[in-house]
A and B are shown apart, each in its own frame.
Chain A
Amino acid sequence: MNVDNKFILGGQEFQSRLLVGTGKFSSVEVMLAAIKASGAQLVTVALRRFNLERPSDDLFSPLVRLGVTLVPNTSGARNAAEAVRAAMLGRELSGSRFVKVEIHPNPHHLMPDPLETYEACKQLAKAGFIVLPYMPADPVLAKRLEDVGCAAVMPLGSAIGSGHGLSTAEMIKLIIADSGIPVIVDAGIRAPSEAAAAMEMGCSAVLVNSAIAAAGDPVAMAAAFAQAVKAGAAARQAGLMAQSGHAVATSPLTSFLAGIPA
């Protein structure tokens, strides 16, 4: 996105281009160990009712101790108003201005609502949040969200938890081509190779949750993802080799330029 190729969100530079989510882990201990192994600096969390039955269940303090930047998400919100309120609450807790706007009214496929997402982002950007919207991989919506002040766009690779990889690759490429803000693929990544592919494509970062949490060994998988994201980013910087056979040669086209001294 920028000339010196840094990953900058909300005016802050981040070294790690792997973001992780904290859902679906078997235990808090495993989750914390996985985050550490991933090297992630940005970690998403959800807002839920405090568990009155088990008051000692506290995610907040151990995460703060890890020194990561918390990105509260608005999952659970079914519309813009609920998302905005969730963002306000999250900001209260996290103390940071980051918010991941996540509005998926259909509980089966969890696809993001483009209209409510746009509305929520418009309000939250105005209110000074660093807005990271989870969105369908739609190039026009991506520019709309950029226009209203989002700090990045997060197009889905495939449905949350599906592990179907970058099924929206063609759309993501269009988004990257026109975007003036970082593009962070979120949802659907299953394997580190897919994270590397996203980076090679030109994404600024990737967000991974289920693929780590549901892996056989989440901590090892988190480390693998960290390596993959670094490899993909480095490969892009290094300039990938040309693919062969781009066009079948037809009759010569430049004879009209012959005889002109170069």
Chain B
Amino acid sequence: MGGASKWGAFFMNIMVNGNKHDHTGSGSLDTLLMELGAKPDAVAIMVNDQVIPRADRAGITLKDGDCVEVLSFMGGG
């Protein structure tokens, strides 16, 4: 259940890579990546099934219930 904390930042429930995730922060993608320990340059992001190009990341604010996929390169043939 989302709500405003006493510090004014948002607290929201989102899905990340198929799992529930509590996000504490401004709802920006960079903050989320920091939370996850992911380097911004080493991942690609989808929000609600939309590919978010790197240039457009700054314009995204996450909201309660959003589904985020964070992808990176793994070994493959």
Contact = CB atoms under 8 A, between A and B. Distances in A.
Interface of A: 21-25, 31, 44-52, 55-56, 58-61, 63, 70, 72-73, 75, 85, 88-90, 92-94, 102, 160, 186-187, 207, 209-210
A209 B73 contact: no
A58 B39 contact: yes
B76 A22 contact: yes
A22 B77 CA distance: 6
Interface string B24-55: 00000000000011110111101000010110
Interface of B: 16-19, 36-39, 41-44, 46, 51, 53-54, 69-77
A20 B19 CA distance: 33
25 contacts: A21-B77, A22-B75, A22-B77, A23-B76, A25-B75, A45-B75, A46-B75, A48-B71, A48-B72, A48-B73, A49-B69, A50-B38, A50-B70, A52-B17, A59-B72, A60-B72, A61-B42, A72-B73, A73-B76, A89-B44, A92-B51, A93-B71, A93-B72, A186-B77, A207-B77
Contacts of B74: 22, 45-48, 59
Nearest to B69: A49
Q: SS class of chain A's interface: helix, strand, loop or mixed?
A: mixed
